[in-house]
A and B are shown apart, each in its own frame.
Chain A
Amino acid sequence: MKFTTTINGLSREIDCDAGMNLYDLLRELGLKGVKQGCDNEGTCGACTVLVDGVPTLSCITPAPKIAGHEVTTIEALGSPDKPHLIQSEFVKATAIQCGFCSPGMILSAKALLDKNTNPTHEQIAEALSGNLCRCTGYVKIFDAVKNAAAALRKEASNGK
């Protein structure tokens, strides 16, 4: 089936099977930052993308649902040469070990910080509740999100 959508700021004409999920579509488009950690059950969060800024599990989202909407994947945030502030803070805090959960974790953090640059520990826990990490034990991930929030607040107070 055919539809129009916006992925990472670019308008795209999509032609896909009616039963395709967003995860498979994004991988087919070469956006391999989405990972599959569970069996299309939405339980691990590694496939998280933002749809109109809302954390969305691409493995359980029918691809046609993004028609007319805006999808943001990890590829839009930054590059190794020019990482996004949240990505830099994840690296600085060593919040990345195997890296499998990182794209989803960072996008969930971005959705939170876009709305609230001074989140409580509980609000971070709530925002990341759908993202499993089997390496870090979460402590450093929480540190990274708190540090990113502080950096964003500093940026705002500097009027950048």
Chain B
Amino acid sequence: MIRAYHQPQRLDDALALLQQGGQAIAGATGLYSNRKKLDAELVDITGIGLSTIDVTVDAIRLGATVSLSQLIGAQLPGSEGAFLAHVARHITAAPMRNAITLGGNIAHPVFWADMPVAFLALDAELEIGHAGAAPKKIALGEAIKGQVPWSNGGLITHISVPLKKGQALGYERLSRTKNDYAYATAAAAMTLESGKAKDVRVVFGAIQPRAFRATDIEAVLEGKALTPELIAEAVDKAAAHLPIAPNFRASVDYRRQVACTLARRAIAQAFASAGQE
């Protein structure tokens, strides 16, 4: 049962409650379907000033309780801002997007989550708060390996997305309906230097419990002028080893083919749009 519902007004108060064993809650979209199993004191973090968006010359800093609707409506700059809005628009339906928060989409471990895929492609950095300690910064890619830093009283407070000049992005997902959970997702990010792809990042989602970078695909593409043949070669080489966690939506083999097709498309999309800059 839910033993208490705390609504702190200050970050420090929230962190103190979390350190005492409270569980953070924001949009609460996953709370009630699991209510019978839950035995916790909840700490609602939506009133502690983390719904702000700050834009500087080199980064977009998003508060953890910024909702998807807020993100979509914010008209954020750069290819990165357009990309974030594009990805958020695909996530479920309008009233859910009013509730789902960016921090929650990262912290609540559901395999189909879209925002972690986008944030990983964008090389995002998290700020983690802990009671009585200075905030810590950690790359999202590092944070989701093993024990996550928001366990044991930690809290994601902000997500920073670096703005990179000329960064081109691609995002592809397949689901039965537009707002259903995905069979697989793929994202790609890169810049172009003398016609060659640089800083290539390829990310898969919805095929493992958490999104991850396909470093083997990135390595093949890095520093090359991308052609459909080279993209296909890079993805096909990785295909057999691509770890697909089984789920009820479709067979592993089918989702492997879907994931690889989406990756080829996302990479081609990013490279094509890089060429237009």
List of B residues within 8 angstroms of A14 by Cβ: none
Please tell me which stretch of A27-35, A40-48, A152-160 contacts chain B, meaning at least 4 of its Cβ atoms lie within 8 angstroms of it. A40-48
List of A residues within 8 angstroms of B28 by Cβ: 60-62, 65
Tell me if A129 and B94 are in contact (CB < 8 A): yes
**What mask results when residues 1 to 34 of chain B are scored 1 for a CB within 8 Å of chain A, else 0?**
1111101000000000000000001001101110
List of A residues within 8 angstroms of B33 by Cβ: 39-41, 60
Q: Is A108 an interface residue (CB 8 A)?
A: yes
Assembly CA distance A43 to B92 (angstroms): 8
Tell me if B2 and A19 are in contact (CB < 8 A): yes
Place the interface of chain B in its size category: 20 to 34
Q: Is A151 an interface residue (CB 8 A)?
A: no
Tell me if A130 and B93 are in contact (CB < 8 A): yes
Count contacts on A: residues with CB < 8 A to the other chain.
Answer: 29
List of B residues within 8 angstroms of A67 by Cβ: 7
Assembly CA distance A54 to B32 (angstroms): 20
Asked if A64 meets B95 with Cβ closer than 8 Å, knowing A1-B5, A18-B5, A40-B32, the reply is no
Tell me if B2 and A48 are in contact (CB < 8 A): no
Choice from A18, A41, A55 contacting B95 with Cβ under 8 Å: A55
Q: Is A117 an interface residue (CB 8 A)?
A: no
Q: Is A106 an interface residue (CB 8 A)?
A: no
Assembly CA distance A65 to B179 (angstroms): 26
| Nearest-CB residue, chain B, relative to A44 | B93
Would you give 23 A-B contacts (Cβ < 8 Å), ordered by A?
A1-B5, A17-B2, A18-B3, A18-B4, A18-B42, A19-B2, A19-B3, A40-B32, A41-B33, A42-B29, A42-B92, A42-B99, A55-B95, A56-B99, A60-B32, A62-B25, A62-B44, A108-B94, A108-B95, A127-B94, A129-B94, A130-B92, A130-B95
For the A-B complex with A42-B95, A45-B95 known, give 10 more contacts whose Cβ atoms are closer than 8 Å. Answer: A19-B3, A19-B35, A41-B33, A54-B98, A57-B96, A62-B25, A62-B42, A65-B46, A108-B95, A130-B95
